[in-house]
Amino acid sequence: MGTRRRTALWAAAAAACWPLVSCSNACPAIGWINSVSIEVEGDAGAVQRLELCADGSCSTRTADAKSGFTPVDPPFPSASAADPSSDAGVDAGAADADTWEFFLDMGAPDSVTVRAWAASGEILAEQDFPLDWKRVGGSERCGGPMSTPPLSLRI
């Protein structure tokens, strides 16, 4: 077999195998969940609802419905302060009575507004927070779950 023919065969084999080799660097087709912890300081027992807002949309959860997981895309479904049942989309859980954990689909807003509501409908506290996202899984190239340092909301 001549040198040209051997070179042509190697080139053809390399071209046929290239898609298999290049796929080894592909990102997996999966999603992830980002999280934000809110630590309520002061009279945490007075908080009946906690509301997390970003980019013009809010999600709210009640103190007695902190468990369950409902990821959505986009991460902040429309919710209104007048409708406390509009809590689908962002899950809120608690590690303890003073900490609320919000899980956002793959969203990572630059900032959020957090509101704490009393059972009477009074706003106990409201504060804007810039978010400092840090990757806690995945890779820079492919993405992955991120979290922020805990936010402290004083009542």
Q: Note the pTM of the prediction, 2 decimals.
A: 0.64
Asked whether the bond before 77 is cis by omega within 30 degrees of 0, the reply is no
Cα–Cα distance for residue pair 83/96, rounded to 1 Å: 25
**23-58 pLDDT, tens digit each:** 567 887 688 888 888 999 999 889 988 999 988 888
More confident residue, 66 or 15: 15
Cα–Cα distance for residue pair 94/36, rounded to 1 Å: 11
Per-residue confidence (pLDDT) for residue 24, from 0 to 100: 60
**Are 130 and 110 spatial neighbours (Cβ–Cβ below 8 Å)?**
yes
If we measure between CA atoms, which residue out of 25, 30, 27 comes closest to residue 142?
27
> CA 37 → CA 15, 21, 53, distances in Å?
50, 41, 14
Cα–Cα distance for residue pair 21/23, rounded to 1 Å: 5
**6-26 pLDDT, tens digit each:** 554 455 555 555 455 455 678
